[in-house]
Amino acid sequence: MNNRCVEEGLSAPVNVTWEMTYACNLSCIHCLSDSGLKKPGELTTDQCLRVIDEMARNKVFQFNIGGGEPFMRPDFLDLMDHAHEKGMVTCISTNGTLIDDDVARRLNHPLVYIQVSLDGATDRSNDAIRGKGSFRKVINALECLKQENIEVSINTVLTRRSISELDKLADLAASFGAKLRVSRFRPSGRGKKSWSELNVSHEQMLDFSHWLGEHLKVSTGDSFFSVSTEERRSLGLNMCGACKLTCCLSPQGDVYPCAFLQEKEFYAGKLPQESFADIWRNASVFHSFRELEIKSCESCHRFDLCHGGCPAIAYHTQRKLGVADPECLENCVRVKMSAAVNA
């Protein structure tokens, strides 16, 4: 990653996270967007097509599609087709429960990547978080996708429950020719309520950091640059990409810095009514993010590896920006040592 080029400012994001609906047929206890029912004001098919056209005009390369469950939209596959016709890559995060042979066949396109969510390697552990019967449905989806040779990742949110099953999840992914991707749990949406119960301890985060260093094929979607070890230095971002490389579009067309900061104070504009190019270049909240400096971290020996970590975690845990990610590797080590001294 060339930080200096990024800091000079890009004309458009590399990718846009697009949460296409709040509708979801599951109700996972850690859902970042508190999804369930479709909400009033979600973008219509025509509005979505306009959004895709505008992103393509701005040369955004990739959509990271999420929700809610995107397959709950009856027009979803048509919208993806439209994005592909414009040459845009779509990385679709799904709970997998609505993928059958026909859907898998339709998804077989070189510009499609699929991430299927699993939060445990067995019915019992997964379904306790994602709902009864979801594990079996995901396994069925993985079989359908494998038959079509579609590139798939299994996405697991790191929690106190999933951490002990990471090896099994990596094996499960490999059995389908898939990769394991671990993402960071953040206290947004329903995650606010389940944070204290599910979030890993500092010591577990340290164990996980070590595990990641030994499993270089496991991807993290750059969620964990704050705990990345030297071994992973070349594998991805070493800073938060919000407003620099990426931003987020809500189901209602609201633009935010990232999926975990969809709060009123971070609202940047609305599509398709406003120009995306104008929002990207001129929204004051985006400017503040680009200028965000975590002063307290600048003297840290790991600053070049994480630049202060995830602002969303800092915001949700301390209600302010410009402060360190409390779960950075350095802080985890400090907490562990202090606990050892006190013991």
Partner 1 sequence: MEKAIMGITARYLLCEGVQVRSESFGLLFYHYAGPKIYFVRSNDLVDESFFSGKQTLSDLIDALRQTRGWSEKLAKRQLSTLMRLLKSRGLVYEQPVC
Cis, bond preceding 187 (omega within 30 deg of 0): no
Minimal distance in Å, beta carbon 176 to partner 1? 20
Minimal distance in Å, beta carbon 1 to partner 1? 8
Instruction: Record the tokens describing residue 302, joined without a space.
Output: 């790991």
Of residues 39-78, those binding partner 1 (CB under 8 A): 59, 61-62
Of residues 2-41, those binding partner 1 (CB under 8 A): 2, 4-6, 8-12, 14
Instruction: Identify the three-state secondary structure at position 281.
Output: helix
Cis, bond preceding 272 (omega within 30 deg of 0): yes
Strands 269-270 and 254-256: antiparallel
CA distance 203 to 207: 6
C-beta of 87 vs 133, nearer to partner 1: 87
CB atoms within 10 A of CB 40: 6
Contact in structure between 99 and 141 (CB atoms under 8 Å): yes
Of residues 87-106, those binding partner 1 (CB under 8 A): 87, 89, 91
Instruction: Record the tokens describing residue 333, joined without a space.
Output: 């080590």
Minimal distance in Å, beta carbon 8 to partner 1? 5
C-beta of 2 vs 273, nearer to partner 1: 2
CA distance 336 to 66: 35
DSSP assigned state of 245: T
List 37, 40, 74, 110, residue binding partner 1 (CB under 8 A) = 110
Minimal distance in Å, beta carbon 335 to partner 1? 35
Tokens 């991430």 map to which residue? 115
Minimal distance in Å, beta carbon 5 to partner 1? 4
DSSP assigned state of 251: T
Which range in 86-94, 126-134, 135-143, 159-167 contacts partner 1 by CB under 8 A? Answer: 86-94
Which range in 85-93, 295-303, 307-315, 331-339 contacts partner 1 by CB under 8 A? Answer: 85-93
Minimal distance in Å, beta carbon 207 to partner 1? 28
Interface residues with partner 1 (CB under 8 A) are: 2, 4-6, 8-12, 14, 59, 61-62, 87, 89, 91, 110-111, 113
